[in-house]
């Protein structure tokens, strides 16, 4: 797979670009409005339309993954501090006073920037020099009506990228995919929730946790009033028909809230309707400015955290994310663009990475990748994992 961000995404000619049939729902209230589909002409957003799932290719062209950590038992992980002699250690984090000065340069937008300053006192950036753990999930929904193609490949590519480029260890990465022969490594709802809890267990300041999801995404009516648009974002486990979806509220409660001050969680979501799928209160434009509010003022305070939580998602909440092929391998456009951008240029700021990923996808795809955070960040700082 080429690492150049100029990779040309060329779907194969035999891909069926017709609109798929409505995606089966796990419960009457579920609304899956669109999905990751190849053709941009099929990605128009209709708030009350029936479901349309993503597409990824299930052809596995990589070697089988190594044995992974079993996470079903009680906490057994011994936290070890791993110090690297990389440029990360030389990277100076701004003091609270310096950070406040940087924040003051961001013009308030509907009071969001001012609220961010007030909530900033307890926040601390992670140096990412502690333990590194990752959870990579790829679901092709094999044998189901709206089967995807490249999600399993995405999960393996991200896992290999983290090991190769960022010093993650194979034994500290859990990979869930629906081609696994191990029942505990199949992406069922129970296994996904258990793996999320494993990811954040025993987390400490300066740890670097990474969560990657590639599969179906959708929306469902918001029941607690925290979403301005009235919809929660959701992901779909392999057994969603029997067990239901996983909402952004649940993911936030499991993976964001428990994290200590100064611990990093990086989320990478390659699915439809994923702009705010981790329920982070702040979203940024490619120029680094805070965007308009997507959650209520009351929810902004409860969703903020002293931990260093960042998310990159494949599209806005009202958009779909595309499947494509790169080098003859089925992949998700967002997963591939993220890996390609950082492989080509590892030293980028948050802003630069967001712009780079968008440029890789444009104009082939209309989806607009999003950057979110659990706190107000200086997007000119270098992005590290």
Catalytic: which of 216, 273, 375, 376? 216
Identify any residues that bridge with 16 across adjacent strands, giving them in sequence order. Answer: none
Contact predicate 223/169, CB 8 Å: no
Q: What is the DSSP string of 36-57?
A: --S-GGG----TT---------
Is 315 labeled as catalytic in the residue annotation? no
Task: Say if CB 37 and CB 323 are below 8 A apart.
Answer: yes
Identify the CA nearest to 322 among candidates 274, 277, 365.
365
The pairing of strands 329-332 and 323-326 is: antiparallel
CA pair distance 236, 119, nearest whole angstrom? 32
Which one, of 152, 133, 157, 134, lies nearest residue 142 by Cα?
152
Fill in the DSSP letter of residue 246. Answer: E
Q: What angle do CA 23, 239, 274 make, to 5 degrees?
A: 60
Sign of CA dihedral 196, 127, 299, 271: negative
Cis peptide bond prior to 13, omega within 30° of 0: no
Active site residue 272: yes
DSSP 8-class letter at 274: -
Contacts of 198 (CB under 8 A, 6+ apart): 69, 71, 135, 174
3-state secondary structure of 125: coil
Alpha helices in the chain, H assignment, sequence order: 87-90, 96-104, 112-118, 151-166, 189-200, 240-243, 248-255, 297-303, 333-344, 350-361
C-alpha span between 26 and 261 (Å, rounded): 36
- How many C-beta atoms surround the C-beta of residue 185 within 10 A? 21
Catalytic residue among 136, 151, 271, 272: 272
Tell me the sheet residues that pair with 308.
Answer: 264
Positions marked active-site: 216, 272
């Amino acid at each position: 797979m080429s690492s150049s961000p100029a990779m040309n995404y060329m779907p194969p000619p035999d891909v069926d670009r017709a609109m798929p049939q409505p995606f089966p729902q796990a419960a009457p209230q579920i609304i899956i409005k669109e999905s990751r589909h190849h053709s941009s002409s099929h990605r128009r957003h209709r708030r009350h339309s029936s479901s349309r799932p993503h597409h990824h290719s299930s052809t596995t062209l990589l070697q089988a993954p190594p044995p992974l950590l079993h996470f079903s038992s009680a906490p057994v992980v011994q936290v070890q501090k791993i110090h690297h002699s990389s440029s990360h250690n030389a990277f100076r984090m701004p003091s609270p006073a310096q950070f406040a000065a940087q924040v003051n340069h961001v013009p308030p937008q509907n009071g969001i920037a001012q609220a961010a300053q007030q909530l900033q006192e307890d926040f601390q950036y992670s140096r990412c020099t502690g333990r590194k753990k990752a959870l990579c999930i790829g679901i092709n929904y094999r044998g189901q009506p709206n089967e995807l193609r490249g999600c399993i490949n995405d999960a393996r590519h991200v896992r290999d990228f983290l090991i190769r480029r960022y010093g993650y260890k194979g034994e500290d990465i859990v990979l869930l995919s629906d081609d696994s022969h191990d029942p505990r490594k199949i992406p069922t709802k129970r296994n996904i929730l258990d793996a999320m809890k494993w990811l954040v267990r025993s987390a400490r300041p300066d740890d670097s946790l990474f969560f990657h999801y590639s599969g179906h995404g959708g929306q469902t009516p918001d029941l607690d009033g925290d979403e301005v648009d009235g919809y929660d974002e959701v992901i779909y486990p392999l057994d969603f028909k029997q067990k239901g979806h996983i909402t952004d509220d649940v993911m936030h409660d499991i993976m964001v809230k428990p994290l200590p001050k100064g611990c990093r969680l990086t989320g990478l979501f390659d699915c439809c309707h994923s702009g705010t799928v981790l329920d982070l209160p702040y979203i940024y434009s490619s120029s680094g400015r805070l965007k308009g509010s997507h959650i209520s003022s009351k929810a902004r305070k409860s969703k903020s955290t002293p931990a260093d939580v960042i998310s990159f998602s494949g599209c806005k909440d009202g958009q779909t994310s595309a499947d494509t092929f790169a080098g003859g391998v089925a992949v998700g456009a967002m997963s591939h663009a993220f890996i390609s951008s950082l492989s080509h240029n590892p030293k980028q700021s948050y802003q630069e990475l967001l712009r780079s990923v968008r440029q890789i996808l444009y104009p082939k795809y209309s989806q607009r990748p999003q950057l979110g955070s659990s706190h107000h960040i200086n997007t000119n700082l270098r992005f590290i994992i």
